[in-house]
Amino acid sequence: MNLADVKKGVEAIVVDVIDAYDQDPIARRLRELGFVAGEPIKVVARGLFGGNPLVVQVGTTRFALRKKEAQRVHIQAEFVK
Protein backbone atom coordinates (compact mmCIF):
# COMPACT_ATOMS: atom_id res chain seq x y z
CA MET A 1 0.00 0.00 0.00
CA ASN A 2 1.27 3.49 -0.68
CA LEU A 3 0.71 6.73 1.21
CA ALA A 4 -1.54 8.22 -1.51
CA ASP A 5 -4.15 5.50 -0.81
CA VAL A 6 -4.51 6.26 2.90
CA LYS A 7 -7.57 8.03 4.31
CA LYS A 8 -7.45 11.05 6.59
CA GLY A 9 -6.68 10.21 10.23
CA VAL A 10 -4.98 6.88 9.53
CA GLU A 11 -1.69 6.16 11.25
CA ALA A 12 0.89 4.06 9.45
CA ILE A 13 4.53 3.04 9.42
CA VAL A 14 6.86 3.79 6.52
CA VAL A 15 8.12 0.61 4.89
CA ASP A 16 10.19 2.13 2.09
CA VAL A 17 10.50 5.05 -0.31
CA ILE A 18 10.68 3.92 -3.93
CA ASP A 19 13.14 5.53 -6.35
CA ALA A 20 11.52 6.22 -9.73
CA TYR A 21 14.97 6.03 -11.31
CA ASP A 22 18.63 5.93 -10.27
CA GLN A 23 19.54 8.78 -7.85
CA ASP A 24 15.93 10.04 -7.75
CA PRO A 25 16.07 13.49 -6.05
CA ILE A 26 12.44 13.39 -4.93
CA ALA A 27 12.87 10.03 -3.18
CA ARG A 28 16.09 11.28 -1.61
CA ARG A 29 14.35 14.45 -0.36
CA LEU A 30 11.48 12.41 1.11
CA ARG A 31 14.03 10.35 3.07
CA GLU A 32 15.75 13.55 4.25
CA LEU A 33 12.38 14.82 5.53
CA GLY A 34 11.96 11.71 7.68
CA PHE A 35 10.10 9.25 5.47
CA VAL A 36 12.37 6.35 6.41
CA ALA A 37 11.63 2.70 7.19
CA GLY A 38 10.03 2.22 10.59
CA GLU A 39 8.96 5.85 11.05
CA PRO A 40 5.35 6.33 12.24
CA ILE A 41 3.32 8.82 10.19
CA LYS A 42 -0.25 10.10 10.15
CA VAL A 43 -2.36 11.53 7.31
CA VAL A 44 -3.73 14.77 8.75
CA ALA A 45 -5.67 16.16 5.77
CA ARG A 46 -6.44 15.50 2.12
CA GLY A 47 -7.24 17.97 -0.62
CA LEU A 48 -10.74 18.28 -2.02
CA PHE A 49 -9.85 17.34 -5.57
CA GLY A 50 -8.76 13.71 -5.65
CA GLY A 51 -7.03 13.95 -2.28
CA ASN A 52 -4.29 16.10 -3.76
CA PRO A 53 -2.29 17.39 -1.94
CA LEU A 54 -2.27 15.52 1.34
CA VAL A 55 -0.84 16.66 4.65
CA VAL A 56 1.25 14.10 6.52
CA GLN A 57 2.67 14.36 10.02
CA VAL A 58 6.10 12.87 10.67
CA GLY A 59 7.07 13.30 14.31
CA THR A 60 6.01 16.84 15.20
CA THR A 61 6.37 18.22 11.67
CA ARG A 62 3.71 18.32 8.96
CA PHE A 63 4.42 18.13 5.24
CA ALA A 64 2.17 18.72 2.23
CA LEU A 65 2.84 16.12 -0.47
CA ARG A 66 1.59 15.87 -4.02
CA LYS A 67 -0.16 12.62 -4.83
CA LYS A 68 2.71 11.57 -7.13
CA GLU A 69 5.19 12.06 -4.27
CA ALA A 70 2.99 10.18 -1.79
CA GLN A 71 2.74 7.24 -4.20
CA ARG A 72 6.48 6.67 -3.74
CA VAL A 73 6.09 6.10 0.02
CA HIS A 74 5.12 2.51 0.77
CA ILE A 75 3.53 2.01 4.16
CA GLN A 76 2.00 -0.44 6.55
CA ALA A 77 -1.38 1.09 7.43
CA GLU A 78 -3.51 0.80 10.57
CA PHE A 79 -0.54 1.27 12.85
CA VAL A 80 -1.57 0.92 16.49
CA LYS A 81 0.65 2.42 19.19
Of residues 77 and 42, the one with the higher pLDDT is: 42
The reported pLDDT for the residue numbered 58 is 95
Q: Using alpha carbons, select from 67, 34, 62 the residue that is nearest to residue 50.
A: 67
Q: Is the pLDDT of residue 77 over 60?
A: yes
Percentages helix, strand, coil for the chain, rounded to the nearest 5?
A: 20, 35, 45
What pLDDT, in 10s, does the model give residues 32-75?
Answer: 999 999 999 999 999 988 888 999 999 999 999 999 999 999 99
Average pLDDT of the segment spanning 16-30: 94
How distant is the alpha carbon of residue 17 from its chain centre? Answer: 9
The reported pLDDT for the residue numbered 50 is 81
Q: Rounded CA gap, 27 and 42, in Å?
A: 19
53: cis peptide before it, omega within 30°? Answer: yes
